[in-house]
Structure 1
Amino acid sequence: MKKVTILAPYNTMATTIFGPMDIFNQAGRLWNRVTKSPQTPFFDVIIASADGLPIRSVNNVSIQPHCSITDVHQTDLIVISSATYIDRILEKNPELVPWIRDHYHRGAHVASICTGVFLLSETGLLDGKSATLHWGFADLFRKRYPQVKLEQDKMYLDHGRLYCSAGVSAGLDLSLYLVEKFCGRQAAVQSAKTMILDMGRVSQAPYEHFFFPKDHGDPLVVRAQDWLQQHSSENIDYERLARELRMSRRSMERRFRQSLGVTPLGYLQKLRVERAKSLLEEGTQTFSEITYQVGYEDIPFFRKLFIRLTGLRPNEYQRRFRGCSGEVYNGSEEE
């Protein structure tokens, strides 16, 4: 059996420990049990903390690990659960970083769940590579680890022996992927079926909420943001907006990119798509009506933009996120 060590740092989210643990533990067991065939477990899974003492989870629940990291002499896979409070973790347990790095250099695979990628990035093993994590922590990650390329839309990434995943449920996607990588497609499919999990999700774009931060330190860009938000459904004259800000359009676009990572046009597109998402969730208008309401006349163009930024067609998005009391989507099937 492959040995799996789930590393539980301070104030982790319990699901990022027990979700992957259950998937690895049940691989070769649960399917066999329900089909009345001999059990053939594939993984031996333990939870380790820095010192072997109980870990307080983010919900203030105490989790008792099986051992300390010093008791782990060999492991095939380390799974790092969420590590949002990275500064506090490094202050309390600086030994975690060299321990992860040492086992990787001895041949172990290392995977991170959600913000566990902060701890993985501290090792330097991701330098020059790409990473993903929950979309809500993307800006913080970019600032802290500029040497790691963030692929924010990815559900999970595989760098051979290094892996990272997005939010909580993406950790389950990655765990299933690793079952397939270590044990084959059949074992992964059986695990997915018995645990009622979807396979093949590759993007977290449908779940992302576009943030429009204003703490970037450029007051002129903040003024432009405010103006665009107030006039987002109107035809925008960017030359006029630049003149009102007393700068050239080229300078305005450069400062937008520096502060927000997008041009004013890209910012406006995200504003409009975010508004369209909210209206689709309400479920009372067709996509054509929504298109006009957010500021577009070209319905096919806005449909393509919506798909590009969310990864879903409008009707797919609405079916997934409409409230229980929402009306049935009344747009055409093509939408």
Structure 2
Amino acid sequence: MIHVTILGLYNSMATTVFGPMDILNQAGRLWNRLAGTPRTPLFDVTLASADGKPIRSVNRVEIMPHCSIEQISHTDLIIIASATYIDKILEQNPELPGWIRHHYDQGAHVASICTGAFLLAETGLLDGRSATLHWGFADRFKARYPNVRLQQDRIFIDHGRLYCSAGVTAGMDLSLYLVEKFCGRPAATKSAKTMVLAMDRESQAPFRCFPGITDHTDPLIARAQQWLETNLAREVNYDELARTLRISRRSLERRFKQATGMTPLSYLQALRVEKARQLLEEGIATFSEITYAVGYEDISFFRKLFIRLTGLRPKEYQKKFAGYAVHPPGSQ
């Protein structure tokens, strides 16, 4: 039996607690039950909170843990649920990073789900390593943990005994992967079939949106961003834009990169791809029409750009996110 401790935290998303718990608890049980063979549980799962008291989930439902972290003398695997409110979590329970680090030093594997990467990063174990988490918290994570290399498009990352996964349901992808890593591919395949889960998702890029970057204090660059957003479909002359702002193009590009982390060109490309996503989701225009609508004439170039930023071909993206509207189940 592999001993697993799921660490529930203040305002954790309940799915990041119960998703891994259900997958790991059912490994060796549900498939065998359906197949009429003896049940052979593969994991012994314990839910712990810092103090053993109920965990207030983000939807205000209280989750009753089995025990406190002090009652965990040994564990093979710690799974950290989402930890969006990291400052409050650390204020209430400053011992958590040290507790995680202690068990890691004793040989335990440690995995984070979604924003649980914040707490994992607080241990210092991710310094110099790569990590992933929900795409919506990428900028905040990069600012707080500059020594961690963020790979925000990854569904999950394996560093041997350290793991990170992207948002919420990516924790289920990671849980299936952990079943495979600890118990083999056949066990993971059986778990996936019984839980009706897809295996081997690799990227969260298709789910990411680009609302723009506004968390900076440069008013001139804010004006440049507004201009790009307003003139999305126009052919952009960056020299002309710089003159409009009464700044050299070199200074514009330097300040833009400093404020947003992107060049003006890459920022405009992200805006155009985001607009194309929205139009594809509406399911009305063709990709050729969308290409012209967002300011490109070269359809082949824009298709390659779209694939690079989303991880999907335009038709695949539309099928995935406009599928129910465009192709209702059972309509064909």
Q: TM-score, normalised by structure 1?
A: 0.96
Distance of 1:187 and 1:248 partners within structure 2: 61
Where does residue 55 of structure 1 map in the other structure? 55
Where does residue 27 of structure 1 map in the other structure? 27
Where does residue 137 of structure 1 map in the other structure? 137
Distance of 2:327 and 2:134 partners within structure 1: 30
Where 1:168 maps in the other structure, the secondary structure is: coil
CA contact (8 A) 1:114 1:168 kept: yes
Aligned pairs (5 A) from 1:191-202? 191-202=191-202
Task: Give, in angstroms, the shift of residue 256 of structure 1.
Answer: 1.4
Distance of 1:198 and 1:248 partners within structure 2: 51
Q: Deviations over 1:247-284 (max 9, x none)?
A: 22122111111111111110110111011000000101
Distance of 2:232 and 2:222 partners within structure 1: 15
Q: Deviations over 1:63-98 (max 9, x none)?
A: 110011011000000000000000100011111111
Where does residue 189 of structure 1 map in the other structure? 189
Show structure 2 runs of 5+ residues with no match: none
Where 1:285 maps in the other structure, the secondary structure is: coil
Where does residue 321 of structure 2 map in the other structure? 321
Task: Give, in angstroms, the shift of residue 35 of structure 1.
Answer: 1.1
Where does residue 332 of structure 1 map in the other structure? none
Where does residue 250 of structure 2 map in the other structure? 250
> Does residue 109 of structure 2 align to residue 120 of structure 1?
no
Task: Give, in angstroms, the shift of residue 16 of structure 1.
Answer: 0.3
Where 2:164 maps in the other structure, the secondary structure is: strand
Q: Deviations over 1:160-199 (max 9, x none)?
A: 1000101011000000111110000000111001100000
> Does residue 37 of structure 2 align to residue 37 of structure 1?
yes
Where does residue 159 of structure 1 map in the other structure? 159
Where does residue 100 of structure 2 map in the other structure? 100
Q: Deviations over 1:122-168 (max 9, x none)?
A: 11110111111001111111111111111111111011100010101
CA contact (8 A) 1:281 1:326 kept: no
Distance of 2:296 and 2:279 partners within structure 1: 15
Residue type of the alignment partner of 1:64: M
Show structure 1 runs of 5+ residues with no match: 329-335
Where 2:94 maps in the other structure, the secondary structure is: coil
Residue type of the alignment partner of 1:124: G
Where does residue 12 of structure 1 map in the other structure? 12
Distance of 2:211 and 2:141 partners within structure 1: 14
Distance of 2:118 and 2:302 partners within structure 1: 36
Q: Deviations over 1:81-122 (max 9, x none)?
A: 000000100011111111000000000000000000101111
Residue type of the alignment partner of 2:145: Y
Where 1:79 maps in the other structure, the secondary structure is: strand
Where does residue 46 of structure 2 map in the other structure? 46
Where does residue 333 of structure 1 map in the other structure? none
Where does residue 264 of structure 2 map in the other structure? 264
Distance of 1:258 and 1:25 partners within structure 2: 47
Where 1:177 maps in the other structure, the secondary structure is: helix
Task: Give, in angstroms, the shift of residue 327 of structure 1.
Answer: 6.4
Q: Deviations over 1:214-240 (max 9, x none)?
A: 230111111110100111101000111
Residue type of the alignment partner of 1:205: A
Distance of 1:26 and 1:323 partners within structure 2: 31
Task: Give, in angstroms, the shift of residue 323 of structure 1.
Answer: 6.0
CA contact (8 A) 1:282 1:323 kept: no
Where does residue 226 of structure 1 map in the other structure? 226
Distance of 1:279 and 1:11 partners within structure 2: 35
Aligned length in residues: 328
Distance of 1:188 and 1:257 partners within structure 2: 44
Distance of 1:311 and 1:145 partners within structure 2: 26
Distance of 1:291 and 1:27 partners within structure 2: 47
Q: TM-score, normalised by structure 2?
A: 0.97
